[in-house]
Amino acid sequence: MMKNPYLLLTPGPLSTTDSVREAMMRDWCTWDDEYNELVQKVRHRLVTLATKNPKQYTAILMQGSGTFSVEATIGTVLPKSNGKLLIATNGVYGNRIAQICDYLGIKTVIAEANEQEPIALDTMEQLLQSHQDITHVMMVHCETTTGILNPLEEACQLAKQYNKITIVDAMSSFGGIPLDVSELQIDFLISSSNKCIQGVPGFGFVIAKQDELAKCKGHARSLSLDLYDQHETMEKYNGKWRFTSPTHVVRAFYQALVELEAEGGIQARYERYQQNQKLLVQGMKKLGFQALIKEEYQSPIITSFLYPEEAFSFAAFYQLLKDQGFVIYPGKVSRVATFRIGNIGDVHIHDIQRLLTVINNTQAKGAVVR
């Protein structure tokens, strides 16, 4: 296979292994029993990764990017007549949930926090008390706008204290940060094939509590994004998707799941990501780059860095790094100038060390800010 010209230091799509990419070199028929059995294996592995109580949960795969699965979940889980969603947001992806609800005509209450601070639990509780008609609570676990990690356990406990259905956007955290959906009382958790499992883009998935999903028949606002019907079809026809599935992507994802297990599971991957992130922040600090988020709130997924000075040109910096084999992300924070560097994917300590060397050499040439 052709060698990749650069390493993706992004929150997904991300750099995958040669063996994951090679898994896509075979064609599959969506009606074939062998392929559908592969889908069932993927679903089973996802549930066992998500909880020690797998009988309570099921996994539904949905075509498209992660946002498709977010919209499918919101549009299927919220009742048409009396559903009302409390959205806790401190970034672009929390705000996107609100935008989806606006498109779908779903009533919302917004608990908004500063982009540089975690979700405020006291604000959530005030809204739960003052809006007793709220039926569901949703938050983003790792907000990749900044790289901040929100208080998932505490937020879910709070929601259940008020008897609400919990929905978690774990797009950038599932597979890379240990969690148990049963212990956390999560009813619906959403993620994507091209994040911490380290597959390629093409589908998202939802880990759903079976008894809550069973209540969602007839709720969907979309034919193609009907999460309930997608699950029913997969159950009835042994892994068959309702509409054409991304067969090559599914096969690559299965390979990625095998490689996650071989690495030592989610805990081992979490530790690798943490090591990457800590070395990155320490090295960047020595080079004059300050991390945006306080260490105690920082996830191991992606880190936002402040521009070192007004003359800094991200476009020039980006191109210089790309020329040396690295691709990073622009910032999304609304109030300050930042850029972002991811630690997930097939990225290891020696890759971070090489990146820091390149940045140091770039600075020595005076090229970073001109």
- Kindly give the interhelix angle for 314-323 and 349-364, rounded to the nearest 10 degrees: 120
The predicted pLDDT at position 333 comes to 82
Q: In this structure, are residues 333 and 292 in contact, taking their beta carbons and an 8 Å threshold?
A: yes
Per-residue pLDDT band at 310 (split at 50, 70, 90): confident
CATH topology of domain 7-11+266-364: Aspartate Aminotransferase, domain 1 (3.90.1150)
Average pLDDT over every residue of 355-366: 83
The predicted pLDDT at position 12 comes to 85
DSSP H/E element including 291: none
CA distance 180 to 105: 32
The predicted pLDDT at position 369 comes to 56
Sheet hosting strand 302-306, strand order edge to edge = 302-306, 338-342, 329-330
CA distance 192 to 199: 9
* More confident position, 3 or 185: 185
Average pLDDT over every residue of 90-95: 95
CA distance 110 to 266: 32
Residues 6+ apart with CB under 8 A from 130: none
Outline which parts of the chain fall under CATH 3.40.640.10.
18-261
The predicted pLDDT at position 362 comes to 79
User: Is the model's pLDDT at 285 over the cut of 60?
Assistant: yes
Q: Closest Cα to residue 107, out of 130, 80, 76? A: 80
CA distance 343 to 302: 6
Outline which parts of the chain fall under CATH 3.90.1150.10.
7-11+266-364
Per-residue pLDDT band at 364 (split at 50, 70, 90): low
The predicted pLDDT at position 325 comes to 95
Average pLDDT over every residue of 56-80: 97
Per-residue pLDDT band at 370 (split at 50, 70, 90): very low
| CATH 3.40.630.10 correct for 18-261 | no
User: Is the model's pLDDT at 84 over the cut of 90?
Assistant: yes
Q: What percent of the chain has pLDDT over 90?
A: 92
Per-residue pLDDT band at 4 (split at 50, 70, 90): confident
For 117-179, the DSSP string reads S---HHHHHHHHHH-TT--EEEEESEETTTTEE--HHHHHHHHHHTT-EEEEE-TTTTTTS--
User: Is the model's pLDDT at 335 over the cut of 90?
Assistant: no
Per-residue pLDDT band at 22 (split at 50, 70, 90): very high
The predicted pLDDT at position 368 comes to 63
Average pLDDT over every residue of 179-192: 98
